[in-house]
Structure 1
Amino acid sequence: TQVADLGLPIILVLNMTDMAKKEGIDIDVDKLSERLGVQVVAISARNNAGLSELREAIGNATSIATQSEGADMHVLAPEAIDFVKSHIKTDNSYLALQLLHQHLPLNIFSSEDHELFEQKKKEHHFESSKLQAAETIARYRYLGTVLSGIVKDTGAARKFIFSDKLDAVLTHKVWGFAIFIAILFFIFNSIFSWSSYPMELIEYSFVWLTEFGHQHLPAGMLTDLLLDGVVAGLGGVVIFIPQIAILFAFISILEDTGYMSRVTFMMDKIMRKFGLSGKSVVPMIGSLACAVPSIMSARNIESWKDRIITIMVAPLVSCSARLPVYTLLISLVVPEKMIWGFINLQGLTLMGMYLISIFAAVIVAFIMKILIKAKEKSYFIMELPVYRMPRWSNVLYTMYEKSKTFVFEAGKVIIAISIILWVLATFGPSDRFEAIDKKYAAIEAQKDSTQISTLERDRSAEKLENSYAGILGHVIEPAIKPLGFDWKIGIALITSFAAREAFVGTMATIYSVDNDGEVATIRNKMRGARNPDTGLPVFTFATAFSLMLFYAFAMQCMSTVAIVYRETKSWKWPVIQLVYMTAMAYVASLIAYQLLK
């Protein structure tokens, strides 16, 4: 009826007709079409039923429904609506009403128009929340008369007992959360357990490809760029496809079955205590995949304060871009060990990182609730969908689509960064490189052939340290050394501000340039890296945990910064977000490393 009141062409599509039939619900489609004055098509998208009729209806669509006579919205605020109709020169009362509700986010009006609308709302005591509630009541009353005699419930076949009993457990205030934590653990445990073999296959495939290239391509700078820059960087992306696919498979299953809606329902009451609207739960959960669409989905939060808080904390929830960083570092320092025969220690650590990020988001939201002053309130109403078996074709498509997006979107950034980084790591000030070559030439003249390979490794390491990349890393090293990071990690931190997943490609490129002629996997190279001052491993548990905390909290995504600017229409909020998240990451990493080292 809202679309009808806007005067737009309509085809009413009744989906899930298979479920209606199963539940004993009969709908007179022809009579409904007659009463509403629009074409009505019954379909079941899940079973592909009625889709051909829908395509035909869309191709022939001309019907514009008459405005709903039983739910005249003009009476809600006649003076304010008449003013807007006159101001924008329209005859549509409902369009005018919606502009009064939602004119602020629209760029089609000047600041003077916005001020004028707000002034008229005050003059005529226009209160959006009350008027929206009144509209809802009026529309449901009208729909009750429209549907009278059209929907028949034969009733006998319909059983809600199983669904109600399942909800009593899955949404229980104690057992519901226990089950949710158990499901999370199973997901993260599976990410490590199920992906290990395909990841090893991909990893060693790239090792073989690099070895093959070095053996069969002519030695030279172009070959080094291709193998140590492009191939190494690309390998750092592709290796994580199994884990990305598994993560999104589980997310798709939870959504298809209807369980994710139950999680939203459970989290609503808790989130409200910490300053997040019930409507904030959906963007927060969506941030497990990516913060960008989640921030965009916050548009449906009416309260300005709740919407800003949601936008500001959503990037703290660990997204899929952080997954490669977590899994790489966890595989370096956490043993591949089973506890009690079924708990994967690496999976447990991964789940811990996700829970830390969610906890941090909730705490920051609570602080912002106190700092940001606003009187508006938002209300959250949702319908729990029926439980269903997941559509496996949809799950497989989601796995494919998300993996492809990860490879192509992240891959473009990482390959570009890898090429630039290879150039910076291969070249440096000529005087420094000449001095290094002379130094090792003199040493080689005094050594026997058995020591040449060791000298070449040392020369390569010293050249990398004196390259442009090395110089850049050493510039920021004093600031990050208290966090347990060396200059190589510093380079990865810089490149990661373009995209978090660039960390893996950066480390792959750096450790490919800094090689002794022996090709190895990125994990083996990082595992064998030693601190030249202490002789201890670079990646200790303290360093790895500190680094994971930094990536958990830091704003290292330019796409997120851009979308926050677009959604808030101001640089104020993205700058505040960038500053507080970076400061939070630095302090958390500093405390963690100093306590654990």
Structure 2
Amino acid sequence: MNGEPAITGRAGAARSASRLEAAALRHPGPLTRIALVGNPNSGKSSLFNQLTGLNQKVGNFPGVTVDRKSGISQLTPQLRAEIIDLPGTYSLYPKSLDEKVITDLFYDQTSAQYPDFVVVTVDASNLRRNLLLFSQLADMGLPTILALNMMDTADQHGVHIDVAALQQELGVPVVPMNARKGVGIAALKILMAQTLGAPTVGFYEPEEELLPMIRQIRYYFNLHNDYLALHYAHQYRHISFLTPDERAYVQELTEQYDFRPTARQAQETIARYGRINEVLLNCVTVTRTEKNEPYSNRLDKVLTHRIWGYAIFFGVLFMMFQAVFAWASYPMELIDQGVAWINSLIQTNFDGPLINLLTEGVLAGLGGVLIFIPQIALLFAFIAVLEETGYMARVTFMMDRIMRRFGLNGKSIVPLISGVACAVPAIMSARTIENRKDRLITIFVTPLMSCSARIPVYTVLIGLVVPDEPVLGLFNLRGFALMGLYLLGFFAAILSAWAMKLLLKTRERSYFIMEFPVYRWPRWKNVGLTILEKVKAFVFQAGKVILAISIILWVLATYGPPGRLERVETQARTAAAAQNLSPEQTEARVASERLENSYAGVFGHVLEPAIRPLGFDWKIGISLITSFAAREVFVGTMSTIYSVGQGADELTVQQKLAAEKDIYGQPFFTPARAFSLLVFYVFAMQCMSTLAATYRETKGWKWPILQLVYMTGLAYFASLAVYQFMK
């Protein structure tokens, strides 16, 4: 099948000329392009990290919102390669948008993203299931290397693989390895650097009655083998690069030959497993009889128990939030004091408008970014460890029992849990949910989960009004408050999902199927890379927004309508002289009057009547507006507003807010105001990026607008209730 000469027709020839030209130009330099493919939990991500290290970047595949994770690997001193980490999949018949990216890539050989060859990672302890994907890629005619991963796990299970025999049976290079520990990486790089031919062993031949249809598709599209043409017949409706006329042509053929995709896929799968079983009988032996339950199964009886499983999970969450406050407090304090010290040093030795811009705008905004690095790092460290150990998969299984009652699919738990890190990738991960209704509900409610961008807001406000006191001698009261806010967002999400379940009617049924990976000790290199990647994203993506808004806000808070600032300053100095105020008190009053009459103050006063019932003033109003770019901008905005016109004696962000007084001379940030603001940020849609992600995933503005209106209304009325009750 793979060795047949290509069939060329008139339509195929016309397409062939442009495609061959594009293929010749797709690699302008010597960089080899290698795709990593494999089943979920086959160790593909560990292999990618071993090959690329810190040389990684994340983008999007052309035309879709699916993440494209790639990196550079130095295969030999003379040869570098681009490694593309493709989404995990079980076969080339896609069930989700992530899997569709893989088929689109392998169907179009003229694509700029088309790989030079493929590395298929397989779990050596479960070869039978993993080889199904490999067999399909082999029949596609793709040059392939088989990375026989998790050899240590296979040995533990008594599975012994004759690598030489397996290589002969499959007709492709086979590399035994343990990607988590780096075993076999050097051998794999050497094989990658060598010239590889296409696989010579076929696994599946289409039925004779299908060959006329298949050959016509090959002729029309100028395809290189029968199996690829068969996939066009299966997937023509979903192949993105086909034109409407080309789709119509394939549809006409499938109807003419009465082609039934579902039945044919089932026949193919049975045939493939028959051939795979023959291969495994010749290459694999199992020498150990299992007398006791595997260790993972014994752990699962406890960790997924109907009672203890939930107790353990909430205990893990509790520890995580305690750590975010307790362990991060010391480095946060050092960063905050360090920024304040630099600010004070500059203000003491220099003066002028540019110095004010630097200290009150740039450094104040920068401090609002850097101070939260320890907490962001700790949060993602916990999440990475839970995923590395295999515990996160158990959590999704457990929570499926609860979530279905509220109209969510078991797979909805993955986006909801991911939403604790960031709503944008969490919303994008909902594309793995096949049921449209469940997917829409998940996308709609995911932003109610408190993401890491809310941590700066929570930390500052909790620190203002919640005492730093121990509870039961071990725990911190502030950690309890932080966990309470996260739980509030979670309960709001599932209750909102339940309401949408009643409103959206559909007969489509959904199912939840998940494979449990075995428990493993986390690979600390992978954890470290995850932390570094997420912190870098926070600093350089959110940081750029915060810094830009801080500078713009400083300008708006420093300048005002022509003549207005000079007039209010004169009035303030006259009033201060009449009251015999000290020079320090006089300057404080002048700074306050100038800020209130600046462009920012004027804008804040316009907004104030709408938010006054919530306990907010015009300064908070400015912060609410600017933080719509990103939630964490709130802290940078508050820091900038309370820095303008102030001396260097008020050092940290927390101290600046604590020193703020109301019109009666009392602390402005009372528990009522602080908790009102906290509840507002738990529910509010304060993120343009999240709305953009919803727009991209739903292909329209209906759901983003509904999301914005619903969450803003919920935030407003919940905040109103909290303030009116507590004041």
TM-score by length of 2: 0.75
Q: 1:73 to 1:296 in 2, by over 3 A?
A: farther
Identity, in percent, stands at: 52
Give CA deviations for 1:286-330 in whole Å, capped at 9, x if unaligned: 222122222222333222333222222222222111111111111
Question: What is the CA distance between 1:17 and its match in structure 2?
Answer: 1.0
1:278 deviates by 2.3
CA–CA separation in structure 1 for the residues paired with 2:633 and 2:613:
23
Within 5 A, what are the aligned runs for 1:158-173? 160-173=293-306
Provide closer, same or farther for how the CA distance between residues 517 and 193 of structure 1 changes in structure 2, counting only shifts above 3 A. Answer: closer
Contact 1:73 1:135 in 2 (8 A): no
Partner of 2:399, secondary structure, is: helix
The corresponding residue for 1:14 is: 148
- TM-superposed CA distance for 1:473, in Å, is 1.1
Residue 699 of structure 2 is matched in structure 1 by: 569
Q: Select 1:267's aligned residue among 393, 399, 404.
A: 399
Structure 2 unaligned spans of 5+: 1-134
- Identify the residue that residue 26 of structure 1 maps to in structure 2: 160
Deviation at 1:155, TM superposition (A): 1.0
Residue type of the alignment partner of 1:318 = S
- Structure 2 counterpart of 1:333: 465
- Aligned mates of 1:472, 1:280 — CA distance in 2: 41
The answer to whether the Cα contact below 8 Å between 1:210 and 1:519 also exists between their aligned partners in 2 is: no
Equivalences, count = 593
Q: Match of 2:662, SS?
A: coil
Offset of residue 174 of structure 1: 0.9
User: Does the aligned pair in 1 maintain the 2:573–2:586 contact within 8 Å?
Assistant: no
Secondary structure of the 1:65 match is coil
Measured in 2, the distance between the counterparts of 1:301 and 1:472 equals 43
Report the secondary structure of 1:512's partner residue: coil
Q: Note the alpha carbon deviations across 1:87-137, whole angstroms, 9 max, x for none.
A: 756466655665677666664345677788889989999887777666555
Residue 121 to residue 377, structure 1, CA distance change in 2 (3 Å): farther
Asked whether the 8 Å contact 1:38–1:65 carries over to 2, the reply is yes
Which whole-Å CA distance do the structure 1 matches of 2:322 and 2:608 have between them?
Answer: 35
Cα distance change on mapping 1:224 and 1:101 into 2, 3 Å:
farther
Corresponding residue of 1:4: 138
Matching residue within 435, 459, 471 for 1:303: 435
More strand by share: 2
- Residue type matched to 1:144 in 2? N
1:538 to 645, 668, 688: 668
* Comparing 151-160 and 128-137, the one that deviates more: 128-137
Aligned equivalent of 1:154:
287
Alignment of 1:521-532 (within 5 A): 521-532=652-663
2:254, 2:508 → 1: CA distance? 16
Match of 1:595 in 2: 725
Q: Distance in 1 between matches of 2:201 and 2:179?
A: 28
Q: Distance between the aligned counterparts of 2:632 and 2:290, measured in 1? A: 52
Tell me if structure 1 keeps the 8 A contact 2:324–2:378: yes
Quote the Cα distance in structure 1 between the aligned partners of 2:560 and 2:307. Answer: 60
1:254 equivalent in structure 2: 386
Question: Where in structure 2 are the equivalents of 1:29-178 lying within 5 Å?
Answer: 29-65=163-199, 68-70=202-204, 72=206, 90=223, 95=228, 107-109=240-242, 136-155=269-288, 160-178=293-311
Runs (5+) with no aligned partner, structure 1: none
**Secondary structure in structure 2 of the residue aligned to 1:11:** strand
Residues 1:433 and 2:433 aligned together: no
Q: Residue type of the partner of 1:39?
A: P
Q: Write the deviation string for residues 437-468 of structure 1: whole angstroms up to 9, x where unpaired.
A: 221343355465x6221121111111111111
Report the Cα offset of residue 57 of structure 1.
1.6
Q: Does 1:203 align with 2:336?
A: yes
* Whole-angstrom CA distance in 2 between matches of 1:525 and 1:176: 44
- CA offset at residue 530 of structure 1? 2.0
| C-alpha distance in 2 between matches for 1:345 and 1:74 | 72
1:491 equivalent in structure 2: 622
Specify the alignment match of 2:686 in structure 1.
Answer: 556
Amino acid corresponding to residue 710 of structure 2 in structure 1 = Y
- Which stretch has the larger CA shift, 240-249 or 308-317? 308-317
Query: Cα 1:287–1:384, aligned 2, differ >3 Å: closer, same or farther?
Result: same
Cα deviation for residue 176 of structure 1 reads 0.2
Q: Within 2, Cα distance between the matches of 1:279 and 1:188? A: 24
State which drifts further: 460-469 or 361-370: 361-370
CA contact (8 A) 1:10 1:61 kept: no
8 Å Cα contact 2:171/2:201 also seen in 1 = no
C-alpha distance in 2 between matches for 1:554 and 1:15: 45
Question: Per-residue displacement from partner, 1:143-193 (whole Å, max 9, x unpaired)?
Answer: 223322322111158864432221100000111000000110011011111
Residue aligned with 1:322, SS: helix
Deviations 1:519-577 (A, max 9, x none): 32111111222222x44432222222222222222222222222332333323332232
- Map of 1:472-511 to 2, 5 A cutoff? 472-511=603-642
Provide the rounded CA distance (Å) in 2 between the counterparts of 1:434 and 1:24. 84
**Residues 443, 291 of structure 1: alpha-carbon distance in 2 compared, 3 angstrom cutoff:** closer
Distance 1:289 1:517, change over 3 A: closer
CA contact (8 A) 2:564 2:597 kept: yes
Aligned mates of 2:667, 2:208 — CA distance in 1: 73
Match of residue 357, structure 1, among 489, 511, 519: 489
Structure 1 residues 322 and 119, CA, compared in 2 at 3 Å: closer, same or farther?
farther
Equivalent of 1:411 in 535, 543, 548: 543
- Whether the 8 Å CA contact 1:74–1:94 is kept in 2: the answer is no
Q: Distance in 2 between matches of 1:81 and 1:577?
A: 46
> In the alignment, is residue 228 of structure 1 matched against residue 366 of structure 2?
no
Following the alignment from structure 1 to structure 2, what is the Cα–Cα distance between the partners of residues 485 and 125? 67
Q: Deviations over 1:251-308 (max 9, x none)?
A: 1211121111111111223223322222222222222212222222233322233322
Match of 1:283 among 415, 423, 429: 415
Task: Give the TM-score normalised by the residue count of structure 1.
Answer: 0.90
Q: Is the 8 A contact 1:317 1:354 kept in 2?
A: yes
User: Greater CA deviation, 160-169 or 339-348?
Assistant: 160-169
Aligned to 1:294: 426
SS at 1:44's partner residue? coil
CA distance in 2, matches of 1:117, 1:483: 61
Q: 1:39 to 1:595 in 2, by over 3 A?
A: same
Who is 1:584 aligned against? 714
C-alpha distance in structure 2 between counterparts of 1:237 and 1:359, whole Å? 29
**Does the aligned pair in 2 maintain the 1:483–1:589 contact within 8 Å?**
yes
Report if the CA contact (8 A) 1:329-1:548 is conserved. yes
Greater RCO structure (CA 8 Å; 6+ sep)? 1
